[in-house]
Copies of this chain bind each other. A is one copy, B any other.
Amino acid sequence: MSRVCTNELIKKLGLLNTENMYLNDFLHTWDKTDQELSAIFTVADILEKMRKDNISPKVFDSGLGISLFRDNSTRTRFSFASACNLLGLEVQDLDEGKSQVAHGETVRETANMVSFMADIIGIRDDMYIGKGHTYMKEVADSVEAGHQEGVLEQRPTVVNLQCDVDHPTQSMSDMLHIINTFGGVEKLKGKKIAMTWAYSPSYGKPLSVPQGVIGLMTRFGMDVTLAHPEGYEVMPEVEEIARLNAASSGGSFSKTGSMSEAFEDADIVYPKSWAPFVAMEKRTDLYGQGDQDGINELEKELLAQNAEHKDWECTEELMAKTKNGKALYMHCLPADISGVSCDEGEVAASVFDRYRVPLYKEASYKPYIIAAMIFLSKFKNPADTFQSLLDKSNSRIR
């Protein structure tokens, strides 16, 4: 039964044009064609099904998956490690704390020096506006040049595990969750999704989650609403991408300053705190100048600004306004749950609790999405590769 299903998925994959993904990086979802995104979802599905059938999709006999996290991370770290391990790559942390990167080495040299046997480089660099994506691009260009110059036998590909602009492994996992919940990508046309700001007692949460969501969800014919209080604007260039996506997908992209309006009749709600874009730019500059007093002052201002919007909480009252009162509640986790992880936060405890299992399920797609990104950057004919894996059918557990 499930083998038949896997075969159908492989057939579907074979019809998609994934040529440009081969030996290429995954930095923004909007760099990719619709067929390419479809291929990611399809490969993620195949991998999940194979694993459930106890068939090992190990395609690497050796090779390193380098991880570089500029920020603490449990979930993304384990998702990346799980993806690498499933395919046969060993994770090696490039820890700037213990490495000489901190001692003024150029990015180009380090990127090449660690990559002699690396197949993949996963980077999370979401802290500073204008820096994360730039850094990833620099690493990708460095190893591309190294490969062209004959320094690197293979071309390691870069996977964006969260930058200042996009968070493709998150938004793609979110999207796969939506697809599976609503019964297929073809069911999404006309569905209303509300990406809304929510209050959090902490500050400075990255913008890449809402940006990733509006930059991706607008491609499926859905009505996407972005809601936030004044002053919490996201990057204008990403809003422009969302507008263009909506126009060509037959959906819509709108903005509102009211959480309640966004929730009205929504099929999906994604209430989540983020920092004001302008403030994050300012913080980046202050860090650059080493102005700690300025940073402290800014933090105080931002917390005060946040506190003016404590009413932006995903309550039962708001949920009742959604389609049949039963919208799918989403979050990238961890959430600030009122009365549980903080006094007042992004979501009421009873709402969170009712959606706990779907939220965990949403998160469970990430290792497969990352593995799919790796897979499609390494195999020119992915459908053939899967077919041969299926023919061999090595057990994951004996």
Query: Which A positions have Cβ atoms within 8 angstroms of B?
Result: 48, 51-52, 56, 58-64, 72-75, 77-79, 81-82, 85-88, 90-92, 94, 98-101, 103-106, 109-110, 112-114, 116-119, 146, 149-153, 333-334, 340-341, 357, 360-361, 363-364, 366-367, 378-379, 385, 388-389, 394-398
Contact = CB atoms under 8 A, between A and B. Distances in A.
A388 B398 contact: yes
Contacts of A63: 85, 396-397
Given A333-B109, A398-B388, A117 B60 contact: no
Given A61-B395, A85-B117, A149-B360, 6 more contacts: A60-B397, A64-B81, A64-B85, A75-B114, A116-B363, A146-B360
Contact of A394 (B48, B61, B119, B379): B61
A78 B67 CA distance: 12
Given A78-B92, A110-B74, A367 B117 contact: yes
Most buried by B among A112, A363, A366: A112
Contacts of A149: 357, 360
Given A56-B62, A74-B113, A74-B114, A90 B90 contact: yes
Contacts of A88: 62
9 contacts: A58-B62, A61-B394, A61-B395, A74-B114, A79-B116, A91-B92, A100-B334, A109-B333, A388-B398
A104 B341 contact: yes
Chain copies in complex: 3
A60 B396 contact: yes
Contacts of A74: 94, 99-101, 105, 110, 113-114
A337 to B, nearest CB: 9
Most buried by B among A91, A92, A395: A92
- Chain A binding surface, main DSSP class: mixed
Nearest to A105: B334
Contacts of A361: 150-151
A336 to B, nearest CB: 9
A379 B54 CA distance: 14
Contact of A98 (B72, B101, B151): B72
A56 B117 CA distance: 12
Contacts of A152: 364
A394 to B, nearest CB: 6
A118 to B, nearest CB: 8
Nearest to A82: B117
A100 B72 contact: yes
A64 B90 contact: no
The 3 closest A-B pairs by CB, nearest first: A74-B99, A82-B117, A56-B61
Given A99-B72, A99-B77, A116-B79, A396 B62 contact: yes
Contacts of A113: 74-75, 78, 333, 360, 363
A389 B398 contact: yes
A165 to B, nearest CB: 22
B90 A151 contact: no
